[in-house]
Amino acid sequence: MSRKSEVFVVGGGPAGLSAAIVAAKLGARVLLVDDNPMLGGQLVKQTHRFFGSSARDAGIRGISIAEKLRMEAQAIKKNLVVQLNTSAVGFYGEGEAGILTPERYEKVTYERVIVGTGAVENSLNFENNDLPGIYGAGAVQTLMNVHGIRPGKRILMVGSGNIGLIVSYQLLQAGVEVVGVVEAMPTIGGYLVHASKIRRLGIPIMTGHTIVSANGDLGVTGATLCQLDEKYQRVPNTEFEIICDCICLAVGLSPLIELFQQASCKMVFVPELGGLVPLQDGNMRTSNPRVYVAGDASGIEEATTAILGGRIAGARAFESLHGPSSDAQKIVDDAAGELKSLRSGSTGNRIRWGRERVTQEIASC
Amino acid sequence: MNLRIEEHPILVFKKGRKVSFTFGGKKLEGFEGEPIAAALHAAGIRLLRHSPHKDRPRGFFCAIGRCSSCMMEVNGAVNTMTCITPLADGMTVNMQKGHGVIEP
Ligand SMILES: Cc1cc2nc3c(=O)[nH]c(=O)nc-3n(C[C@H](O)[C@H](O)[C@H](O)COP(=O)(O)OP(=O)(O)OC[C@H]3O[C@@H](n4cnc5c(N)ncnc54)[C@H](O)[C@@H]3O)c2cc1C
C-alpha cells in the first residue's frame, strides 16, 4: 500500500503538530505520523506551568498546551490525516519514506517532509550507570505523570537545570521523597524560581558535587557522591553515600537525527543546540530542499520555540509548493518576531550563538 | 508503599480494566493498555533482563522506546520493547537470554 501526501510531517509534538496545522490550513495535503497513541509529544507529561512568551502560553501547563493543539488539529476537516502508533522508519530515494503502522509496513510519497522527531535523553558516565533503577528524567515523567506510577520511594536527582528542578517538584507532588539534587557546576543550572520552590520544601541542592557510582547488585540501593574542585576534578576523601532506591538523570537531551542523515542532510555539531543538528536556514529548510526541520530536532530548546519553528516550517513548505502567499508570510513574520524576543537577553545567548552557526554555514554548501 | 499514585494534586489517571498476566510463570495483575514495563514496575519488578555480553542486570531507562534497555520475551516474541508495548489480558512475559532466539 502506498500513501500520497504533499507535506509529510514526522512527529506529533508541539513542533510537528504546529507545522501540520499551518500547512493544512493554508491548503496543503498533509499526512502526520507519530509513534505514540496520543498527539502532543513531550507535552503530554508536563504538568507544570510553562515558562515562555506571554503571547504564547506562558503560565499554562504543558498538558493544556497539548490539548489546545490537538483540538486545533481536530477542527481541520480536510487536508490533514493523522496516523498514530506509527513510526517513520526510513527515507528512500527522492520523496519516498517507509512507515510502520500497527498493521503493516507502508510506503509514503511526499513533496516536502517536515521532521519534528524531538530528542533523546543523555546518560552520564559513572560506575554502575546501567543498574535497574536509573532512569532518564523523561522516563520518570512518563511513568509518573502518564501512567500514575512512582519510580520508587527515595530518589536522587542528578542535574539542576530546569528539567531536574521541575521533575524534582513533580516527584514531590507524586509523594516520592527526593533525597537531593546533585550538580557538578558551582551554581544552579536552572531558573532560581524553580530552585527556590524545591529548596523551601527541604530538598538540598548540592552544587560542586558529582555522582561517583550507583550502588546495589540487582538494582539501585544507594549512590556515592563526592565534591568537585573548580576544575571539575574529584576532591579526594570527600566521598559519601546517600541511601536511595532510584536515581534520575536530568543531564540534557540530544536531537533525534537519524532521518536527516538518511535524507543526506548536511549535519553540524553545535554544543549549544545539544549536539549534531542538520544545517538549516531561517526558513527551517535543510540542505536537502525537500526536507524541513522543527523543534528539538533542530536544536534543543523549548516547547514555545518548537511551536514557532514548526509554524515557520509549515508555512514555508507550503509556499515552496504553491508559491508565495501573504497568509503564509504573515505567519512567518509573526513567528520570527516572537522567536526573536524569546531568544533575546542573556538567557538566550547560547541559543543565539548556536542558531547563528547552523544558519550561517548553509549559505556556503 | 504502593508505587501506584492514588491521589495527585493535578492529575487524574484513567486506567483500563484490571487484567492478569504472568512474569516468569508467576501470576501478576496490571491495567490493560499500560506499558508492560510499567505494570511490572508497579508490581515491584524492575530487573527486566541481563545484558547480552557482560550479563549485567538491566531495567528500563528511557520509557519511550528508544534505548532498548527493556527488551523481553512477550508471548514468545523476543526483543519486545516492554516500555511501549501495551499490556493485554493473559500475556506471558519472560526475561530473555542474550539477544533471544527466534525459532525457525
Ligand atoms: C521535564 C521537562 C520540562 C520542560 N519544561 C518546559 C517548559 O516549561 N517550557 C517550555 O517551553 N519547554 C519545556 N520543555 C521542553 C519541551 O517539552 C520540548 O522542547 C518540546 O516538547 C519539543 O517539541 P518537539 O515537537 O520538537 O519534540 P517532542 O515533544 O519530543 O515530540 C516529538 C514526537 O515525535 C515522535 N517521533 C520521533 N521520531 C519519530 C518517528 N521516526 N516516527 C514517528 N514519530 C516519531 C515522538 O514520539 C514524539 O511524540 C520541557 C521538557 C522537559 C523534558
Residue A348 has pLDDT above 90, yes or no: no
Q: pLDDT tens, A74-127?
A: 999 899 999 999 999 999 988 999 999 988 999 999 999 999 999 999 999 999
Q: What per-residue confidence (pLDDT) applies to A52?
A: 67
C-alpha cell at A285: 529548510
Chain A residues within 8 angstroms (CB to CB) of chain B: 35, 47, 61, 120-121, 123, 130-136, 138-139, 142-145, 147-153, 173-175, 217-219, 256
Atom from ligand 1 closest to the CA of residue A52: 11
Q: State whether residue A287 is helix, strand or coil.
A: coil
pLDDT score recorded for residue A59 = 81
Provide the residue ranges of all domains of chain A, joining segments of one domain with +. 2-120+253-363, 123-249
CATH domain A2-120+253-363 topology: FAD/NAD(P)-binding domain (3.50.50)
Looking at residue A364, what is its pLDDT? 62
pLDDT of residue A60: 86
| pLDDT reported for residue A286 | 96
State the Cα angle at A288 between A286 and A294, rounded to 5°: 30
pLDDT for A365 equals 59
Quick one: CA torsion of A280, A285, A291, A292, rounded to 10 degrees? 90
Chain A contact for B77, CB < 8 A? no
Distance CA(B94)–CA(B49), nearest Å, equals: 9
Residue of B nearest to A169 (CA): B9
A42 Cα nearest atom in ligand 1: 29
Across chain B, mean pLDDT equals 93
Determine the average pLDDT of the residues in A272-281.
95
B8 to A120: CB separation less than 8 angstroms, yes or no: no
**Average pLDDT value for residue range A55-63:** 80
Greater pLDDT, B66 or A57: B66
What is the strand order of the sheet A240-243 is part of? A209-215, A222-227, A240-243
Q: Which residues of A touch B49 (CB under 8 A)?
A: none
Helix segments in A27-161, DSSP class H: 62-74, 137-141
Partners of A150 on chain B (C-beta within 8 Å) are 3-5
Between the CA of A341 and the centroid of ligand 1 the distance, in Å, is 21
- Model confidence at A139, pLDDT cuts 50, 70, 90, reads very high
CATH 3.40.50.300 matches A123-249:
no
pLDDT in tens, A145-160: 999 999 999 999 999 9
Which of the four pLDDT bands, split at 50, 70 and 90, describes residue B1? Answer: low
pLDDT category at A244 given cuts 50, 70, 90 is: very high
Interchain proximity A149–B38, CB inside 8 Å = yes
Q: Which domains does chain B have, with CATH numbers?
A: 18-94 (3.10.20.440)
Q: Quick check: A357 pLDDT over 80?
A: yes
Mean pLDDT of chain A: 94
User: What is the spatial distance between Cα A119 and Cα A274, in angstroms, rounded to a whole number?
Assistant: 9
Poorest-pLDDT segment among A57-66, A169-178, A237-246: A57-66
The per-residue pLDDT for range A290-308, each reduced to its tens digit, is: 999 999 999 999 999 999 9
Question: How many contacts does A have with B, using Cβ atoms within 8 A?
Answer: 85
Across the strands, what pairs with B35? B86
Q: Indicate if the pLDDT at residue B67 is higher than 90.
A: no
Mean pLDDT calculated for residue range A314-339: 97
Least Cα separation, residue A173 to chain B (angstroms) = 7
What are the start-end ranges of the H helices in A87-217? 137-141, 162-173, 192-200
What is the bridge-based pairing of β-strands A291-293 and A112-115? parallel
Decide if A223 contacts A243 (C-beta within 8 A): no
Mean local confidence (pLDDT), A218-246: 97
For the segment A191-207, what is each residue's pLDDT rounded down to a tens digit? Answer: 899 999 999 999 999 99
Phi, psi of A248 (to 5 degrees): -110, 125
Residue B10 predicted with pLDDT over 80: yes
